[in-house]
Structure 1
Amino acid sequence: MFKASIYQDRRKRLQASVPGGLILLPGNNESPMNCADNVYRFRQDSSFLYYFGINQPGVAGVLDADSGEALLFAPEMTVEHVVWMGPQPGLSDLKTLSGTEQALPVEQLEELLKKAKADGRTIHFLPPYRADRSLQLSRWLSTPVEALQPSEALIKAIVAQRSVKSAEEIAEIESALAITRQMHVQATKTAQPGMKEAQLAGMVEGIALATEGALAYPAILTVNGQTLHNHYHGDIMKEGDLVLCDFGAAAPRTDYASDITRTFPVSPNFTDRQKAIYQIVLDAEEQAIQAIQPGVPYKDIHLLAAKIITTGLTQLGLMKGDADAAVEAGAHALFFPHGLGHMMGLDVHDMEDLGEDYIGYTDDLKRSPQFGLKSLRLARALQPGFVLTVEPGIYFIPELIAQWKAEGKHAEFIDYEKVETYLGFGGIRIEDNVLVTEEGHRVLGPPIPKTIEEIEALRKG
């Protein structure tokens, strides 16, 4: 948690950006795993965390955009709570920690909202992403769930504010990246033929937990890297396999995210074929990072990475024809079917609960319907203070290859016979986290080995 003055300043800026009324920012509740007393790890709502900093369930905040007042609502702790949970901060403690004018029993929140609604005041709230929150809002606002209308003005104000990271936020992201480096280096050094993926997955999550942190998102650690979001860890690693590792730690106590991907061979060395594909991905990643600077649309950098990948695959004989024409047609998406990256902060996909297009697009910049390009989460012009991921990849997805070949899709750009000799290759992705600065960019966190030479040295080490 940051000092109270940081939350006070954040709230004042938000209140000044919203056109009157009350701003309702509920925190999250506990989420039962299989009964009310057996719950998943608690994760606070990120917008509540950003503006109030209180990381406990059952709380809510209300900001008055007219008077400038900030109210915090929380359960009153009893001796029975202490018996099960140990000493907990009381209302006066929470008031001090968050820097709010008042901290009130949470039972008073519904009455306040009903009075505000009766008085004709606007109540701004964000899109609910949990069912219990939808039901709470429905009850508090006397509105059917299907009729709840989140405030676009509030969404846009929060996106504008949270998109630009402060020095304190950058420090938290880098603390998470320091843990993430340990996780990736240990995974790369430890993997052996005959080992199950789950052994590595448990080890890297254990490193995060041992630092009083946690994973920022469920780990992807797989020899089937051609499946983009592969959370299965039941395969045995074998000589000749590639292991794609996409995971990051959340910073202890603040939950700021990190998001790193590395790919390494189970054998001590990459094969020549693996080296060739790996180097294309690394070239695309490094050149994309170098292109980051304020004012540049991230869509342009995504297309730059796509062209580098297309050019490299053409040199290997997997693609053919003019690289610019191939990228414009979307032929490269057979191998690179996702976007180059996304915003990152308190959420690994920062603020996407508010609506992905609010984060990555503008009123004038609309999402492309083209396969591959439509999955680009961040397309808008970059600004100083943005933190984003750069994560190109090349994948050989048997089902997609078979479908495109049967349709004759982009046959003028793809040599399907050559591509079919790569079935079973898997996938390669390389990812770093980058801050947009006034002068250009800075790769965040300590360096994590990613060149062919560095990876092979760890594998042999």
Structure 2
Amino acid sequence: MFASSTYHHRRQALAQQFSDHGLLVLFGNEESPMNYTDNTYPFRQDSNFLYFAGLEDTGHFLIIDLANGKTTLYGDDLSLDHIVWMGNQPSMEEKQARIGVELHATYEQGLETIRKAAKAKQTIHYLPPYREERVSLLAECLGQTAAATRQGFSEQLCRAVIQLRSYKTNEEAAEMDKAVNITRAMHLAAMRSVAAGQRESTVAGIVEGIAIGGGGRLAYPCIGTINGHILHNHHHSNVIQDGQLYLLDAGASSISQYAGDITRTFPVSKTFTDQQKDIYAIVLKALVDCSAALRPGYAYLDAHLQAARIITQGLKDLGLMKGDVDAAVAEGAHALFFPHGLGHMIGLDVHDMEDLNENWVGYDEHTQRSTQFGLKSLRLAKQLEAGFALTVEPGIYFIPTLIERWQAEGKFKDFVNYDALAPFLNFGGIRIEDNLLITENGARLIGDAIPKGIAEVEAVRL
């Protein structure tokens, strides 16, 4: 947790964005049963509740009363039975002081406050509920259907939270450095341990163990695979073989739940083949050049298009693409090999604040989302500002089904040398990803550098 004044100032800044006399309701998360009530999934607090309250405990929520500016923390002190199983825990009075709120009351009293406000037709601002139990609880309190509750969240509150959380303070940046440094240890351990004959799950276990040992957990399910062309591959049962590439996209969360999100791709056979080096060098150039261009006022859409041009030119130099590079990118031909966005915001969430609406986070009135294959998956496009934290993750993938379908359709035949792709159909994919913080004059790497140059990676593998 940060100092209580941090959370107090955040709540003040949030309330100042509203002119009505309604209620701002910010729920924390509850335990989520895995297969019966007492056997739960690992607990993860709601990120917005964390941002404004800092409490990791279950069974709490905040109400900010805009009429008087006071915040109440709702929750219950533990019973003696709970203490027997869980040990002594801070009281509600102690939690109130810890996060700097004016009042505390029981959980049921908080629900009754919402019910009374709803009956009085008072404005109640709440964020989009992403768990069904929260939908049901809110629907009951608000006296409306579940469908109406899912749609009735406050756009104003969402935008207000995004406005605050988008700019990382120095203390937040320090937490993100910690998260990426734990992530660095995960990737180095994977680079040193991957060997032919192992199952992917062995490496995934090493990675997750380091994340837990760092005091947090994985920030998202580990992608660790020899099938790097499957972008979100959480399948870990393949046996690793010589000659293959191993792609690890994995990040740790710090104790305070700030996330790291790093990808590295390296050879199982200790050194890259010439074919692997050729593709890797293109992806690395895209990462390095695009990272160097980041600065306040620079649209991240332009960074994405820069990466697309670098990838297209590199593949053209290898004879896999052809024609005018700018025209190929404008028409979307490069997306055969680079079918996702260059990156996204990162912070308390690995895809930061996207529960509040991805377009409100990554786009604005000056930047509209494309419908073009590949480009439509760009999560962040708007102009960058100092304090933004983001990922840069270019990649090249050889997806057999996509290649075969586009070739059969004669799609982009003026830009793609389909006949030259046969030797790459079993290649897999390469993605390299760093996390950066936008500064007043440019951008800095979050955390310590993680080997990514060809010679650096091979030195770790050897």
TM-score range, shorter chain: over 0.9
> Could you tell me which residue of structure 2 aligns to residue 29 of structure 1?
30
> Could you tell me which residue of structure 2 aligns to residue 43 of structure 1?
44
> Could you tell me which residue of structure 1 aligns to residue 159 of structure 2?
156
Q: 2:313 aligns with which of 303, 311, 315?
A: 311
Q: 2:178 aligns with which of 163, 175, 178?
A: 175
1:236 matched to 2:239? The reply is: yes
The Cα of 1:443 is off from its aligned counterpart by: 0.9
The Cα of 1:406 is off from its aligned counterpart by: 0.5
**AA aligned opposite 2:443:** H
The Cα of 1:89 is off from its aligned counterpart by: 1.3
**AA aligned opposite 1:231:** H
1:348 matched to 2:347? The reply is: no
On the 8 A contact 2:15/2:69 being kept in 1, the answer is yes
1:407 matched to 2:409? The reply is: yes
Moved more, 441-450 or 75-84: 75-84
The Cα of 1:379 is off from its aligned counterpart by: 0.5
State the secondary structure of the residue aligned to 2:130: coil
**AA aligned opposite 1:239:** D
The Cα of 1:98 is off from its aligned counterpart by: 1.1
Moved more, 356-365 or 283-292: 356-365
Deviations along 1:77-104, one digit per CA (max 9) or x if unpaired, are 1111101111111110110111100111
The Cα of 1:420 is off from its aligned counterpart by: 2.2
CA root-mean-square deviation: 0.8
In 1, the alpha carbon distance for the partners of 2:103 and 2:242 equals 62
> Could you tell me which residue of structure 2 aligns to residue 377 of structure 1?
379
**AA aligned opposite 1:166:** T
In 2, the alpha carbon distance for the partners of 1:115 and 1:459 equals 63
State the secondary structure of the residue aligned to 1:246: strand
Deviations along 1:33-86, one digit per CA (max 9) or x if unpaired, are 000100000000000110011111111101122311011001221111101111
> Could you tell me which residue of structure 1 aligns to residue 215 of structure 2?
212
Q: 2:332 aligns with which of 307, 330, 334?
A: 330
In 1, the alpha carbon distance for the partners of 2:130 and 2:19 equals 24
> Could you tell me which residue of structure 2 aligns to residue 450 of structure 1?
452
In 2, the alpha carbon distance for the partners of 1:352 and 1:381 equals 17
Deviations along 1:277-307, one digit per CA (max 9) or x if unpaired, are 0000000000010110001110010000000
1:195 matched to 2:204? The reply is: no
> Could you tell me which residue of structure 1 aligns to residue 292 of structure 2?
290
The Cα of 1:368 is off from its aligned counterpart by: 0.2
**AA aligned opposite 1:6:** T
In 2, the alpha carbon distance for the partners of 1:117 and 1:19 equals 19
> Could you tell me which residue of structure 2 aligns to residue 9 of structure 1?
9
> Could you tell me which residue of structure 2 aligns to residue 77 of structure 1?
78
1:129 matched to 2:130? The reply is: yes
In 2, the alpha carbon distance for the partners of 1:453 and 1:397 equals 27
In 1, the alpha carbon distance for the partners of 2:76 and 2:206 equals 37
In 1, the alpha carbon distance for the partners of 2:240 and 2:48 equals 40
> Could you tell me which residue of structure 2 aligns to residue 143 of structure 1?
144
Q: 1:227 aligns with which of 225, 230, 234?
A: 230
The unaligned stretches of length 5 or more in structure 2 are none
**AA aligned opposite 1:64:** D
**AA aligned opposite 2:385:** Q
In 2, the alpha carbon distance for the partners of 1:58 and 1:420 equals 56
The Cα of 1:8 is off from its aligned counterpart by: 0.1
State the secondary structure of the residue aligned to 1:179: helix
State the secondary structure of the residue aligned to 2:361: helix
**AA aligned opposite 1:196:** R
State the secondary structure of the residue aligned to 1:433: strand
**AA aligned opposite 2:320:** L
The Cα of 1:389 is off from its aligned counterpart by: 0.1
> Could you tell me which residue of structure 2 aligns to residue 362 of structure 1?
364
In 2, the alpha carbon distance for the partners of 1:32 and 1:42 equals 10
The Cα of 1:16 is off from its aligned counterpart by: 0.2
**AA aligned opposite 1:70:** T
Pairing 1:80-91 to 2, within 5 Å after superposition: 80-91=81-92
Q: Paired residues, what number? A: 459
In 2, the alpha carbon distance for the partners of 1:239 and 1:415 equals 28
State the secondary structure of the residue aligned to 2:16: helix
On the 8 A contact 2:118/2:143 being kept in 1, the answer is no
The Cα of 1:434 is off from its aligned counterpart by: 0.4
In 1, the alpha carbon distance for the partners of 2:122 and 2:277 equals 62
> Could you tell me which residue of structure 2 aligns to residue 67 of structure 1?
68
Deviations along 1:340-380, one digit per CA (max 9) or x if unpaired, are 00000000000001111110011342210000000000011
State the secondary structure of the residue aligned to 2:345: coil
State the secondary structure of the residue aligned to 1:215: coil
In 2, the alpha carbon distance for the partners of 1:110 and 1:346 equals 27
1:274 matched to 2:259? The reply is: no
In 2, the alpha carbon distance for the partners of 1:388 and 1:150 equals 26
Moved more, 242-251 or 117-126: 117-126
User: Once superposed, which parts of structure 1, at least 4 consecutive aligned residues long, lie more than 3 Å away?
Assistant: none
In 2, the alpha carbon distance for the partners of 1:78 and 1:227 equals 48
In 2, the alpha carbon distance for the partners of 1:75 and 1:243 equals 48
Give me the TM-score of the superposition, normalised by structure 1: 0.99
The Cα of 1:142 is off from its aligned counterpart by: 1.1
**AA aligned opposite 2:441:** E
The Cα of 1:143 is off from its aligned counterpart by: 1.3
1:92 matched to 2:93? The reply is: yes
**AA aligned opposite 2:225:** T
**AA aligned opposite 2:105:** L
**AA aligned opposite 2:309:** K
The Cα of 1:19 is off from its aligned counterpart by: 3.0
The Cα of 1:120 is off from its aligned counterpart by: 2.8
In 2, the alpha carbon distance for the partners of 1:420 and 1:368 equals 31
Q: 2:437 aligns with which of 421, 435, 438?
A: 435
**AA aligned opposite 2:367:** L
In 2, the alpha carbon distance for the partners of 1:133 and 1:323 equals 49
State the secondary structure of the residue aligned to 1:421: helix
In 1, the alpha carbon distance for the partners of 2:135 and 2:19 equals 24
